[in-house]
Amino acid sequence: MPLRTPVDIQPAASVGSVHFIAIGGAGMSGIAQLFADLGVPTSGCDQADSSTLRALAASGITTYVGHDPLQLEGVSTVVVSSAIRESNPELVEALKRGLRVWHRSAALASLMLGHRGVSITGTHGKTTTTGMTATMLEAAGADPSYVIGSPLASSGRSAHLGRGDVFVVEADESDGSFLQYPSEIVVITNVEADHLDNWRTPAAYLNGFEAVATRPGVQAVVLDVDDRGAREIAERLAGRVRVIGYGEAPDAEVRLTELDFAGTGARARLSYGEDTGDLVLRVPGRHNLANAAAAYAVGRLLGLPHNRLLAGVGGFTGTLRRFQLVGDAGGVRIFDDYAHHPTEIIATLTAARRAAGKGRLVACFQPHLYSRTRDFATEFGGALALADLVVLTDVYAAREDPMPGVSGQLIVDSAEAAGASVVYVPDKRELPHRLAELVRPGDLVMTIGAGDVTLIGPMLASLLAGNVNAADSPASAGGSTPGPAHG
């Protein structure tokens, strides 16, 4: 998956009939829906049927199961995700016909034209921060448009075409997409080396964030001054663009103090200039308090009132696959989370430890990408050692081909070296039954990863409830994997 170079764009309403290859992904489906909401003739295909595909069809979008060049008849613009290979028959045909071919980031950028763009990026926390920002701005009366990498738990929607002049997007840094979006405000949640299969070096990755913060049109950058990488970006930006820092540090302009964590929520005292108030969340973790502070800063930059923003965050109940409760059976609570980087796993398991109370914390982890497993095996092991019991399966390949010598065993070895109790179940089809044998009443189970491990929690819940027929294997579940189409 190469880095994406920004391309010239034009307004979405002027590009003719649009066809989305892999329309069923969370990121692609939201963008496609907004094109359709604008009245643009919209179609799309995916490799397998899914509830997302059926919902798009019900909204009036022409959908297909499978990839066939005949599905391009009458199409002017083809949109692809980073997961689409050059050999895809529809992409090959589109290029042969000379059709306009856009990466999903260009299609999203075309929707943003004419709006006050807000791009929310960072190594971790993009989805949650984008969801919080959209929720807070909506509660404050701004009615923003937005595209989030995962649906809001409250509405089941990942995209909305608002009547206001603000457009909030989750800006993916993994492939350089964040350089495409026309933005007035850029949020950088944190910067930590990742996606080195694209960026090659940590220095190049860091430089990418500096580049997105200094693009033409950017008027303000909001970033976490508690994060070392983001603070380095702030130092580079001094005197070049307005910077608003948030966090617990004494020099944070939006400052958090008196942090408190209880169960599956969190709260803190938030101060900004002469304004202070209680920030009360319905989602857990120190990282989510920071994410909410970023969303608040965006609202203030847009001229929205302090009190309405603080009240609005109470309406945020999370996004799918972000500490999402998926089952409660046999005295066992089962949560699912998209964490797929060691730092994200530490944040997730730290919050889960508080929520587990006196029960055991069981982490079921599926590594995502062979390259990431190779690069961070030691760090993954240390992060997973926060759990009382670790159940590991093999690598979810996603867009990559297998690499010699790289498997889940690398993380098993590093987790055991870090003192973790580990059970290795290479075949993910065996996970539900193996977990059912291992857990006991009072446990809190976290299924973690960016692949199809998300299917395991509901199957485990069915087994624990005694409904063995409902616990189908992951291999039998069709459709696109829930959650963001990047990561």
Of the CA atoms within 13 Å of residue 469, those in its CB half-sphere come to 0
Q: Give the span between the Cα atoms of 427 and 97, in whole angstroms.
A: 43
Q: Pick the catalytic residue: 138, 170, 173, 344?
A: 170
Helix (H) or strand (E) run with residue 382 in it: helix 370-384
Q: Give the span between the Cα atoms of 484 and 83, in whole angstroms.
A: 12
- The residues with which 159 forms a beta bridge, in sequence order, are 147
Judge whether 344 counts as a catalytic residue.
no
- Three-state DSSP class for residue 421: coil
Report the amino acid identity of residue 431. Answer: L
Which two three-digit tokens encode residue 174? 């993994």
Neighbouring residues of 291: CB distance < 8 A, sequence distance ≥ 6? 125, 128, 129, 132, 189
Judge whether 170 counts as a catalytic residue.
yes
- Output the 3-class SS for 213-242: HCCCCCCEEEEECCCHHHHHHHHHHCCCCE
Q: How far is CA 106 from CA 15, 26, 82, 129, 477, in A?
A: 12, 16, 12, 22, 31
Per the listing, tokens 């909506």 go with: 138
Q: Give the span between the Cα atoms of 47 and 33, in whole angstroms.
A: 19
- Output the 3-class SS for 332-378: EEEEEECCCCHHHHHHHHHHHHHHHCCCCEEEEECCECHHHHHHHHH
Contact present, 335 and 445 (Cβ < 8 Å): yes
Q: Pick the catalytic residue: 123, 127, 130, 348?
A: 127
Per the listing, tokens 């290029």 go with: 95
Q: Pick the catalytic residue: 52, 63, 126, 373?
A: 126
Judge whether 428 counts as a catalytic residue.
no
Question: Active-site residue numbers?
Answer: 126-127, 170
